[in-house]
Amino acid sequence: MKVLVIGQGGREHALVRALRLSASVSQVHVLPGSDAMAREAVRHVADWRDFKNVAKIAEDNGVELVVIGPDDPVAEGLADALREAGLLVFGPSRAAAQLEASKVFAKRFMTSAGVPTARFHEVDSVDATLAAAGSYRAPYVLKADGLAAGKGVFICKDLKELEGAARAVFEERIFGEAGDIALLEEFSPGYEISCLVLTNGESWEPLVLAADHKRLRDGDDGPNTGGMGTVAPYWIDLALQKRIDAEVLLPTFRRMKEMNLLYRGVLYVGLMITEQGPSVLEFNARFGDPEAQVVLPLLDGDWGLAFRDVAAGRVPRLAWKPSSAAACVILAAEGYPEAPKKGARIEGDLARDSGDSYFLHAGTALDGDSWAVNGGRVLNAIGLGRDAREAVARAYEQAALANWTGRQMRTDIGARVVASSAEAPP
Ligand code: AMP
Ligand code: GLY
C-alpha cells in the first residue's frame, strides 16, 4: 500500500519513519514534507490548503491511505474533502476537530459529557475577565479560544499579569480572531500526562502514555513551548488507569457518538493528575509533537495496518514491545519560542543512525550541502532502550552530535520518569 503523510515537522518525520518500517507499506509520500524527508519518501512540494490538488496527487500516485499530521489541516476540513474524493483518511472531520480548534467548544463538550475539567468562565473583554476573576484565586489561567500555535495559554501569578494577558488577547489582538473569546480557568496543580488513543469516534484503543516537558528550561522553568522533550511509556497504577477510562474516555466517546462527530484518527487527551484524580486540560485532534516521536517506535506491529483500520472505521487492538522505552530530546533554535532565529549552519553528522538512536528533522533545510536551522524546534534526538534510563541516555548521546550557534536544549528530559516508579510497569 502507498501512504501519503501530510505535514512537515518532527511528528511527520516520525510518521514517515514508522510507515517506512511497516511491512504493509510499499511507498511513503509526503506533502509538503521537508528536505530531510525527501530522502526517505516521495516528496510533493504543494499547499495542503488546495484540497483538490492534494486529492489529485494522491490519486495520480496510487495512494490508498492519507495520514494527516498537524492540527490546521483537520481543523480546516482536509480529512472531509479527501474522504469525499474516495480516499481512506486517518484524521478527524472538521466538525470533530473543533475539540482542539476551539477551546470553548471543547469545554462545553466536556461539561455536557460530564468529563472532569477545571472550572471556567467564557470571557470576551478585559473587563469581563477581571470581573470573572473575582471567583478564582491566583494563579489565573487565561486561554485564547482558537488555534494559537501552542502559545494561547497564559498562567498569571496575579491580577496585574492577568490584566496584561487579557489586554494582549482582546485589545492588542495578538492571536487575531483566535482571541475573540477566551477561557478563564481554575489552575489545576498536579502532574501532566499525554494520553493518546486511536478511535473511530465510538470505541478506542490506548497508546502507551507519554510524559512531555512543556517549559523551555530545566526544572520546568521558563515559557511554555510546543514541547521540549518526551519519554514513553509512562506507567501509572491500575487504579488511575481505571479512573481515566471510566471518568474521561468512556464519557468522551459516549458524547462524541451522541453528537455524531465523525472521528477517525488519534485523540490526544492532555491530562492533569490532581489530588482529586484526572482532569482534562485539553483535547488535540492529532498526535502530539513530540509525543509521536516516542510512542510510534514502541508498537509491536505495523502502523500502516493500524492507520488503515482506523481510517476504515475499525479500531485495532495493539501490542507494545516488551521492555522498551523511547526518549526524545528537542534541539531548538536560538530565540525559541518567542522569535526563533533561522539560518544558522548546523554542525555534525545528522545522518548517524544506529537503529536505537537517530535524528528526526523538525525545522531544518538544506543550504547547499549542509543543514541549516529553519524553524523553532530544529532537531529531535531520539533514543530507544530497554528502559527510560537507557533511552534517555541514548537520546542525549545523539543530541551531542549536532550543534549550532544558540542551540537550546533541556538537560533534564525524563529525569522525573527515571527517578520515579513511572518507568516500571506497576
Ligand atoms: P493547553 O494548551 O490547554 O494544554 O495548556 C498548555 C499548558 O498550560 C498545559 O500543558 C499545562 O501545562 C498548562 N495549563 C493549562 N491549563 C491549566 C490549568 N487549568 N491548570 C494548570 N496548568 C494548566
Ligand atoms: N506536545 C504537545 C502537543 O503536541 O500539543
Contact (Cβ atoms closer than 8 angstroms) between residue 198 and residue 207: yes
Helix, strand or coil for residue 101? helix
The rounded Å distance from CA 56 to ligand 2 centre is: 30
Whether 61 is covered by a domain: the verdict is: yes
- In Å, what is the CA distance from 153 to each residue of 33, 40, 198, 240, 365? 28, 36, 26, 27, 30
| Domain tally, the chain | 4
Q: Is 270 in the pocket of ligand 1 (CB under 6 A)?
A: yes
Say what the pLDDT of residue 13 is: 98
For residues 67 and 157, state if they share a domain: no
Domain coverage including residue 172 = 125-180
Give the residue carrying C-alpha cell 495493539: 318
CA atoms within 13 A on the CB side of 165: 27
Say what the pLDDT of residue 108 is: 97
Helix, strand, coil shares of the chain as percentages rounded to 5? Answer: 30, 30, 40
Whether 161 is covered by a domain: the verdict is: yes
Closest ligand to C-alpha of residue 151 is 1
Say what the pLDDT of residue 157 is: 94
Among 267, 283, 311, which residue terminates a domain? 311
For 200-322, list the strands marked E by DSSP. 204-206, 211-212, 215-217, 221-224, 229-232, 265-274, 277-284
Amino acid present at 183: L
Q: What is the full per-residue pLDDT of the chain (426 aa) written as tens digits?
A: 999 999 999 999 999 999 999 999 999 999 999 999 999 999 999 999 999 999 999 999 999 999 999 999 999 999 999 999 999 999 999 999 999 999 999 999 999 999 999 999 999 999 999 999 999 999 999 999 988 877 789 999 999 999 999 999 999 999 988 889 999 999 999 999 999 999 999 999 999 999 999 999 999 999 889 999 999 999 999 999 999 999 999 999 999 999 999 999 999 999 999 999 999 999 999 999 999 999 999 999 999 999 999 999 999 999 999 999 999 999 999 999 989 999 999 999 999 999 999 999 999 999 999 999 999 999 999 999 999 999 999 999 999 999 999 999 999 999 988 887 666 665
Say what the pLDDT of residue 240 is: 97
For residues 382 and 361, state if they share a domain: yes
The rounded Å distance from CA 281 to ligand 1 centre is: 6
For residues 81 and 154, state if they share a domain: no
- In Å, what is the CA distance from 42 to each residue of 30, 35, 352? 6, 11, 21
Say what the pLDDT of residue 426 is: 55
Q: Residues of 82-98 as b/e, b for ≥16 C-beta within 10 angstroms?
A: bbebebbbbbbbbebbb
The rounded Å distance from CA 281 to ligand 2 centre is: 12
Ligand 2 nearest-atom number relative to CA 284: 5
Contact (Cβ atoms closer than 8 angstroms) between residue 417 and residue 388: yes
For residues 220 and 300, state if they share a domain: yes
Whether 159 is covered by a domain: the verdict is: yes
Alpha carbon nearest to ligand 1 atom 19, residue:
187
Q: What are phi and psi of 225, to 5 degrees?
A: -130, -175
- In Å, what is the CA distance from 329 to each residue of 15, 159, 325? 17, 35, 14
Whether 101 is covered by a domain: the verdict is: no
Q: Is 284 in the pocket of ligand 2 (CB under 6 A)?
A: yes
Q: Is 214 in the pocket of ligand 1 (CB under 6 A)?
A: yes
The rounded Å distance from CA 55 to ligand 2 centre is: 27
For residues 25 and 69, state if they share a domain: yes
Which H helix or E strand runs over 182? strand 182-185
Say what the pLDDT of residue 236 is: 93
Whether 316 is covered by a domain: the verdict is: no
For residues 249 and 356, state if they share a domain: no
Contact (Cβ atoms closer than 8 angstroms) between residue 40 and residue 17: yes
Q: Is 71 in the pocket of ligand 2 (CB under 6 A)?
A: no
Say what the pLDDT of residue 422 is: 63
Whether 119 is covered by a domain: the verdict is: no
Amino acid present at 166: A
For residues 249 and 282, state if they share a domain: yes
For residues 392 and 329, state if they share a domain: yes
